[in-house]
Chain A
């Protein structure tokens, strides 16, 4: 005998349960966790290098890549605890992988954990890693049309980092349109213009991170 059963449960219920546990651990330890999402080559690792050096904030990093440990190498060179996850074809990180990486991180001595997701504007935003904020990283050479093409990311982002702005004079990037499209998708999101290799925009970005950390620890 057949019957129809109503379920109404998230497709990713199991992974979301793991993300909730990660979120609970970070809350308990007073750690801010952010998830950097952007195309390959958007400048995520360079922004991260500029963010973690020359600061009194204590960081750990989780690197997600299809292959190699190149990004983790760059962070390790700055003496920051880092775990590299290689997905070997997976186009995004998931909470179960991040949970395993957490086992290798000194959680009692940290202010901020940064997850640098696999380079991809699509899939990473669909998977909750337990983070406090997703950060959209978009570089000038990618063009100004990305927000409307990838609305889910830009809508969900807690901040938008526009990188490589030193290239604006050389690339047909409509800055006004970009800012307008971002505002339509996410009316109050901070948009930070950066030249990470020169440290430009990093102070503003660190200010945002500090305010989120303070807000979190007040709770």
Chain B
């Protein structure tokens, strides 16, 4: 099966062999990043830009994030990535606050709750598997502090 086509834009798509194609994502600014905190920061900045336009805010001065401990995000790396990414942009000078949320589990069979020390989806009290994680999986923009246009 022969594939054809050369697509320019965010990376190039090339013919490689008769039955495969190849996407070469050379531009690091569009996502080929070294750590996933930077990917997340880029996504946040895109969202903030859109929100700022839509709401006609003068400036965003503070961003708070809720990040659950299961999400494998290192807050210090995130803060560093944010500071680096906003430099020279309209967000320069804005603060990033990360609310790091502990893992919390609850068993719907016996209603007991527990934390990361006993990280388990099998209830350590009654061995039921009717367990859900009520906190610790969040990865969201919580609030923004904004300056409005007068």
Binding site for B on A (CB under 8 A): 1-15, 69, 72-73, 75-76, 79-92, 94, 96-97, 100-101, 103-104, 106, 122-123, 125-127, 148, 151-152, 155, 183-188
Contact = CB atoms under 8 A, between A and B. Distances in A.
Contacts of B21: 82-84, 101, 104
A81 B20 contact: yes
Nearest to A189: B121
A50 to B, nearest CB: 18
Contact of B33 (A11, A89, A97, A188): A89
B61 interface: yes
Contacts of A85: 22-23, 25
Contact of B31 (A72, A79, A96): A96
Given A11-B44, A84-B22, 16 more contacts: A2-B147, A4-B144, A10-B141, A11-B140, A72-B16, A83-B21, A87-B25, A88-B32, A89-B34, A91-B34, A92-B39, A97-B31, A100-B10, A126-B71, A184-B121, A187-B121
Contact of A91 (B36, B121, B143): B36
Interface residues of B, number: 55
Nearest to B67: A11
B130 to A, nearest CB: 9
Interface in B134-150: 139-148, 150
Given A7-B51, A12-B43, A83 B22 contact: yes
A83 B20 contact: yes
- Identify the interface centre among B22, B51, B143: most chain A CB within 10 Å of its CB: B22
B88 interface: no
A1 to B, nearest CB: 5
Given A84-B22, A184-B120, A10 B139 contact: yes
Interface SS majority for chain A: mixed
A60 to B, nearest CB: 10
A9 B146 contact: no
Contact of A188 (B65, B119, B129): B129
Contact of B20 (A75, A90, A187): A75
A81 B1 contact: yes
Contacts of B33: 89-91
B43 A76 contact: no
A97 B112 CA distance: 42
Contacts of A100: 7, 10-11, 13, 23
Interface string B35-47: 1100110011011
B99 interface: no
A185 B121 CA distance: 5
